[in-house]
Amino acid sequence: MSNWLQPTTLEGTRVKLIPLQKNHRTELFQAASDGKLWELWFTSVPSEETIDAYIETALENQKDGTALPFVVMDKTTNEIVGSTRYLNVEAEHRRLEIGATWYAKKNQRTGLNVECKLLLLQHAFEHLKCIAVEFRTHYHNLASRTAISKLGAKQEGILRNHRIDSQGLYRDTVVFSILDGEWATVKYGLEHRMNKTY
């Protein structure tokens, strides 16, 4: 199943998800600069010093079939306003994670994330025929945990001392998932939220 995950553009009403390229560097950094998102200790948003390695790692993971990174474009302004990706891909088990998601401060809490997740989940369940999609976040990232729950994902548990971060601190990771049998209901809920937001 080496060709299971192919670069593709996903487009909705307000959002366009475009496969990440090296030439997105400047716009991606500008988006991260809105709010200096790299200063949030529980996230992994690229800074001026880390953005080249950030892009390189994402593209290497794409090449080896374990990830598909996107830049997020706001169609109302044609600006790149963030990034997201499929990662920890297990093609043989038709499972993947949606993560490494962040948005410029001005685009947070605007409904944009709901449409991004709808596009990613729809592609995962309806095109790739996933049997499960995971979301993982830092235990201390309460905003992310709340947002994932609102999508309709269910918390599976907490992986304690799961990672050691760049400062040497231990990270507890909260794991959520949506199963293929739950997708119809989750999709209806996301579309309902979008209709109220846009």
Residue 71: give its domain's CATH number: 3.40.630.30
pLDDT at position 6: 93
Domain hosting residue 134, numbered range: 10-197
pLDDT reading at 74 higher than 60? yes
Rounded Cα gap, residues 121 and 14, in angstroms: 16
Say whether pLDDT at 106 is over 80. yes
CB 152 within 8 A of CB 182: yes
The whole-number average pLDDT for the span 143-147 is 90
What ranges make up the beta strands (E) of 20-169?
Answer: 68-74, 79-90, 95-103, 132-138, 154-164
| 2 part of a folded domain | no
Tell me the average pLDDT across 73-89.
Answer: 95
- In this prediction, residue 40 has a pLDDT band, given cuts at 50, 70 and 90, of low
**Span 142-171, average pLDDT:** 93
Average per-residue pLDDT for the chain: 91
Give one word for 43, left, alpha or beta, with left for phi > 0 and alpha for psi -120 to 50. beta
Res. 71 pLDDT band, cuts 50 70 90: very high
* Domain count across the chain: 1
**Which residues, 6 or more positions from 18, have their beta carbon under 8 angstroms from its beta carbon?**
9, 24, 70, 71, 73
In a domain, 183, yes or no: yes
Across the range 161-165, mean pLDDT stands at 92
Closest CA to 85 of 57, 105, 109: 57
pTM (2 decimals)?
Answer: 0.91
> Encoding tokens for residue 106?
């001005």
Is position 42 within any domain?
Answer: yes
Q: Which of the residue ranges 45-49, 96-100, 183-187 would you say has the lowest mean pLDDT? A: 45-49
Residue 25 within any structural domain of the chain: yes
How many whole angstroms separate alpha carbon 2 and alpha carbon 6? 9
**pLDDT band at residue 46 under the 50/70/90 scheme:** confident
pLDDT value at position 166?
78
Is residue 5 in a domain?
no
**Which is more confidently placed, 40 or 18?**
18
Task: Evaluate whether residue 45 is within a structural domain.
Answer: yes
Decide if 1 is inside a domain.
no
Question: Residues of the chain with pLDDT > 90: what percent?
Answer: 74
